[in-house]
Amino acid sequence: MIYTISGVVSETDVISSFVVIECGGIGYKLTVTANTLSSLPSPVYSPSGDIDVSSSQIVKVYTRMAVREDGVELYGFSSKEELDAFRLLVSVSGVGPKAAMSILSLFTPKKLALAVASEDSKAISRAPGVGGKTAARIILELKDKLAKAYPEFSGSGGDISTDISLRSASAAGGSKLSDAYSALTVLGYSRSEIAAAMKNVDPDADLEDIIKSALAALMK
């Protein structure tokens, strides 16, 4: 199995969400998530129109191969964390590679873990091709598995997933709360302290204002 590919990006397609990575004279076409696509550099061409290898950045992409009756497809991921999330998603009954890529284009692995821990099936079902029943099944089958990978979103009492619960109805709000939590964790505050401080923050406020409000509560 091909586990990683290192080379230069020779082609990208935003509409079909794929990249071609040139490695050892072979161009590997990989279907990628929107998050991975945005993290990869654009192709660099020479005046003759060929790929300028000397000026191109070498990238490393983790891969997963899917063999079907009508062909073989390579899926690419910018990090092992995203690859692991893909593997977990396709292990869920009724979730194929296409749906998994759709979910990981909407969520980073960490934000997916937060949505699952918070049992936010509505947010997960926003991914194209993922219905409410599928989202609920993902939560049911992956909650314990993701809790092991992201212990900060599991547990009880001062658990951030319980106290915050993605109170914003939009994914953007939930993302800001998650980012604020991460920032406060870096500053050394405990989960229970952060949970208590963020109970009354406005999830629709700017990230900077959310952090300032939480810090004000923490310093009382």
Which of 175, 19, 20 shows the shortest CA–CA distance to 108? 175
- Identify the bridge partners of residue 143 per DSSP, sorted by sequence position: none
pLDDT tens string, the chain, 220 residues long: the values are 789 999 999 999 988 899 999 998 899 999 999 999 999 998 888 888 888 877 888 999 999 998 887 888 999 999 999 999 999 999 999 999 999 999 999 999 988 998 898 888 888 999 999 999 999 999 999 998 988 888 766 643 334 343 434 333 334 445 678 788 777 776 767 676 787 788 888 888 888 888 888 888 877 6
Q: Which CATH number fits domain 80-153: 3.40.640.10, 1.10.150.20, 1.10.3720.10, 3.40.50.10860?
A: 1.10.150.20
Cα-flanking dihedrals φ and ψ of residue 167, to 5°? Answer: -60, -25
- Identify the bridge partners of residue 11 per DSSP, sorted by sequence position: 20
| Residue 216 C-beta-side C-alpha neighbours within 13 Å | 9
Look at the pTM and tell me if it is higher than 0.75: no
Beta strand pairing status for 59-68 and 18-23?
unpaired
Q: Which CATH number fits domain 4-77: 3.30.230.10, 2.170.120.12, 2.40.50.140, 3.40.50.1000?
A: 2.40.50.140
- The torsion defined by the Cα of 47, 51, 53 and 56, in degrees rounded to 10, comes to 90
Distance CA 77, CA 65 (A): 12
